[in-house]
Structure 1
Amino acid sequence: MKSRHLVLAFAVSLLAPLAPASSPTAAPSGEKLTFVLVHGATAGGWEWKSTGAHLLADGHTVYRATLTGLGERMHLNSPDIDLKTHIDDVVNLILFEDLHDVVLTGHSYGGMVITGVMDRIPERLRHVVYLDAAVPGDGMSIWDIFGGDQPRDTTRFVDGFMQVPWVGPDAKPPHSVKHSIKCFNQPVSYKNPAALDLQVTYVAFVPKDQSIEERAARDKSWQRAESRGWTIRTFPGGHVAQQEDPRGVASLIVESVGDRNKAVAERKTNAP
């Protein structure tokens, strides 16, 4: 999976400030949940296959979204695909499958997508989990999170796509594919009051060769999540920990459903 780590290396720039991980809270005992899992840049629903299988084995309902132009939908790839297209993909999945009380989970670039979904249909969501994912503010693009309006390594962005040159024409699926640049420079909306009141967990994946403090010192998304009163958790592993330890990540997501935002709890307690 070295190539997968390379294509998602830009996500390291998403990593945020020094803050302690929250203590785990009790998971809903024996409750069967509905999960919608959203992958990161250049990937597809295939990235969630093993984690999804563990959730299914535990009796939960699982939808592994594949965003337009990626994964098994690569035949639809186009430089005209943007972030809104991918938000529409997940919104329509939830609406057309008539899903309610969804545990919406996004990884890496998927954090941009689930933010837009939260803003659009918060009434369909029970809990949101950002797994090593981008946490944007209202009106921010993923480039804004990086601190600029364009990629740092422009040689990897050609003909309207972020390229994955190590994936050859004879590569057997599943594998990463090129990804439209418009997904990275389009801003997302995050201002719906109902979205702001959703219960959210932010999970930072921490590799063995890095301390939590080192990881946190670079993590702007962690900082933004903490400022919102979201629950902060850490999990040992690289950026694609859901593939390294699918059982562990599946259990983590389920446990996260019991997390409660500090800000939301305090606001409701102090309400007249």
Structure 2
Amino acid sequence: MPQFPRALLCLCFVVFASAFARADHHDANQKNTYVIVHGATAGAYEWKETGRYLEQAGHTVYRVTLTALGERSHLSAVGVNLTTHINDVVNTIRFEDLHDVILTGHSYGGRVITGVINEIPERIKHVMYFDASVPQNGESSWSHRPPPADLLVKDGRRIPSWLNENPTTYPHNVGHPFGTSVEPVTYDNPAAFELNVTYVPFIATGTDPDERAARDRNWQNAVARGWTVRTFPGSHTAMLENPQDLAVLMQAAVNDTNTPTP
């Protein structure tokens, strides 16, 4: 067997180690494209600071405002349904020609991104649900609970009892398109089932995570699907309370992988 000079062996080892270190460094500093979907009555403005921290880290961020909400609240809500909002996101991804997207949804936005991954799973790299709805195929917002007794609908918008209909400052919440509550979501694409997903419940001070998990249907659906669960401290709008740390979590969670389920 031929003998290689010690110096040549050392040189080969150094070159290999250097190449491995560069590859590892590249993975650690991989830049991603995030598409962020907000919750009901809100707008993309709620994710402005979190998006800013992601951009400062070198990532590309698209904050989609859904039709008739946020800065698009001047548009009529009549006839707007879940499909409208799914198309808002799908068309952003298609018209911007985005691939390997890190798709995230907050609250009601979980229903929207469920429809998005069902339609264009080939464009998605990873999915994140933030304190969000995790619906089953064919479920609407009211599949497991009746509409609130004080339900008020005006001009195609559902007006929550807490909402100030005459705000004087911007940005502000607005009535949510009623049609999104009654349309069931479609989640039946096998390719969507294969995507790696991270579910992140926001845990308010004084809340027992185990107790929350035991009663939270969304959390239970996530676990049943083998998704990674990461908790984050804060209220339902934790992204407004601690946007920087949430941005850190969003960068770390892109490498989460699903746990195989029976």
Using the size of structure 2 for normalisation, the TM-score is 0.86
Please state whether the residue corresponding to 1:76 is helix, strand or coil. coil
Aligned to 2:71: 72
Please state whether the residue corresponding to 2:28 is helix, strand or coil. coil
Separation in 2 of the partners of 1:86 and 1:103?
18
Separation in 1 of the partners of 2:232 and 2:167?
35
Separation in 1 of the partners of 2:249 and 2:76?
33
Aligned to 2:119: 120
Matches within 5 A, 1:93-242: 93-144=92-143, 147-148=144-145, 150-164=146-160, 166-242=163-239
Residues 239 and 81 from structure 1, CA distance in 2 versus in 1: closer, same or farther, beyond 3 angstroms? same
Q: Could you list the runs of 4 or more consecutive aligned residues of structure 1 that deviate by over 4 angstroms after TM superposition?
A: none
- Say whether the 8 Å CA contact 1:199–1:260 is kept in structure 2: yes
Structure 1: 5+ residue stretches without partners: 1-27, 268-272
Separation in 2 of the partners of 1:97 and 1:134?
26
Figure out how many residues of one structure are paired with residues of the other and give that number. 235
CA shift at 1:169, angstroms?
Answer: 2.6
Aligned to 2:28: 29
Aligned to 1:243: 240
Deviations 1:127-170 (A, max 9, x none): 000000000011111212xx13x412333444532115642435
Separation in 1 of the partners of 2:176 and 2:76?
8
Deviations 1:85-139 (A, max 9, x none): 0000000000000000000000000000000000000000000000000000111
Letter of the 2:248 counterpart = S
Percent of pairs identical after alignment?
A: 51
Letter of the 2:90 counterpart = V
Separation in 1 of the partners of 2:88 and 2:151?
29
- Say whether the 8 Å CA contact 2:163–2:173 is kept in structure 1: no
* Pairwise CA RMSD: 1.5
- Say whether the 8 Å CA contact 2:151–2:158 is kept in structure 1: no
Aligned to 2:19: none
Please state whether the residue corresponding to 2:202 is helix, strand or coil. strand
Separation in 1 of the partners of 2:239 and 2:197?
19
Separation in 1 of the partners of 2:147 and 2:79?
18
Using the size of structure 1 for normalisation, the TM-score is 0.83
Letter of the 2:159 counterpart = Q
CA shift at 1:79, angstroms?
Answer: 2.6
Structure 2: 5+ residue stretches without partners: 1-26
CA shift at 1:78, angstroms?
Answer: 1.6
